[in-house]
Structures are given as structure tokens and as C-alpha cells.
Amino acid sequence: MTYSRDSIPAHFPYGFMKQKAENIPEGVADYAKHKTKGAYAYVSNCDSHQYNRLEVMRRLLTYVNGDIFGSCTNQRPCPKKGDITCEAKVHSQYRFYLAFENSLCKDYITEKFWKTLENKGYSIPVALGGLSIEEYTDVAPPNSFIHAYNFSSIEALGKYLQYLMNNDAAYNRYHEWRHNYTVTRETNKKTVCSLCESINHPESLRAAQSHLFADEWNNQSNCRNLVNMNVTYSAFVYNSSQLDDTS
């Protein structure tokens, strides 16, 4: 029971998308209002795998102003640690949140991505994770995020963020999904029911027991290795023979 969509017996992701019962427009909202800063991130796990997460973030922030908070940089948004009111006020000033995973593995989309969509800071998550963009588009609301794999270089991504910093209408289009969808990180009843059903059906248990769990989770083909693909930090240079056309 893991975040992987092919988990046996149950899929347990970090967040969920839900379609609203009625698609009632919330009116015209200006989500760019009062957002004077570019991007921010929290990084407390300093060990990223097969790429240098902090270096990529720092290079990106040469194109848009921003901050990297957390123990890896010893930078805090507020003088007092854990001041929720202060932190919420600071977060609301940024247009983007850098939801970069420490491992770029299949279906690995953690709470940093979902929390950005869920909370009322109304920042757009800029994602870097997974094996393909489809892993995000299949589970997240349409046009709710920006993914680094859609860009040929850090410079190209940075210039696009610059464009959104200066175009409020284009920025607000990334929030139109809020009319039709909600996002939650609460446990999905379907997940719990799948687990219960497996426990009560011997054939499901047999399938789980025959699943080569360790072999699958140690399979390096489930993760991107940007170091071995000769990626420079001035550009995302992928080996096209190892990746699909969506990369």
C-alpha cells in the first residue's frame, strides 16, 4: 500500500483530486494580486538522488526572485519558528512553489505538490519529479501546475516564470481549475476499502504475496538518473533513447 499507482493491494497517494458535484464558477478572482515575489521552496532533506536539487533551484532563482527555506539553507520565513500566521502571510506573497522531489521516480509526487494546490496561499506548483509528465496530468486538476520536463532548459523555464510574473491574466488561468475541482490530502475512503477488500479475499492476498516487491522498488529504471544522462545545470539535456517523447 504505497504511492505507486500499481501498488498491491491498494494505492495510497499523498493527495487526491476531486471533481465538484456542481461546476459553479467562483467569480473572477485575481490570484496574482499582492503577489510581489517569484518562487519559494522548503528543503529539509539535503540529500537528493541522481541530481542536485538545491543547485537546480538556485539556478532557477536567478531568473525570478525567491527564497529557499528549511534546514538545508538555514533560512526561515519568519523570526519565530512555527509561527503559522506569519508563515501564511509570507507564503501568500509568492507566485510559485518549487515542488522539486528529492528522487525523480515513477508516481513519486509528495505532499509538497498537493499541499501547494490545497492551501489558500494560491501559489502555482512548479514540479520536477516522476518519469513522465503524464504521471502528474493523470492525477492533478487540468492546467494546475507547471512541470520542468516541458522545458528544454532551466533558462527556458525561468523565462516562462518571468512571463507569468508580468502577465496576470496568464497567471490566473492556472487557477481556473478551482471552479470545477478541489484537492485534498485526507485519506481516500476508496484506498481503505481496497485494503479491506484484499484482506477479505484470499485471491487478492495471493497476488500481493507473489508480488516481487523488493525487485520492483529497487529497479533503477523506475527513476530518472540525470547525472548519468549528462545533464548540465544550464539545461535539461535528456538522453532521448532512454525517455519518451513527452520528456
Predicted confidence (pLDDT) per residue in 197-240, tens digit: 777 877 766 666 666 667 777 777 888 887 654 444 344 533 32
Residue type, 44: S
Cell for 243?
Answer: 525517455
**pLDDT for the residue 206:** 67
Predicted confidence (pLDDT) per residue in 129-165, tens digit: 999 999 999 999 999 999 999 998 899 999 999 999 9
pLDDT: is 7 or 25 the higher one?
A: 7
pLDDT: is 26 or 217 the higher one?
A: 217
Q: Which option is the CATH number for 16-20+34-184: 3.40.50.720, 3.40.50.1110, 1.10.10.10, 3.40.50.11660? A: 3.40.50.11660
**pLDDT for the residue 226:** 74
Cell for 107?
Answer: 508516481
**pLDDT for the residue 50:** 84
**pLDDT for the residue 4:** 83
Global confidence as pTM: 0.84
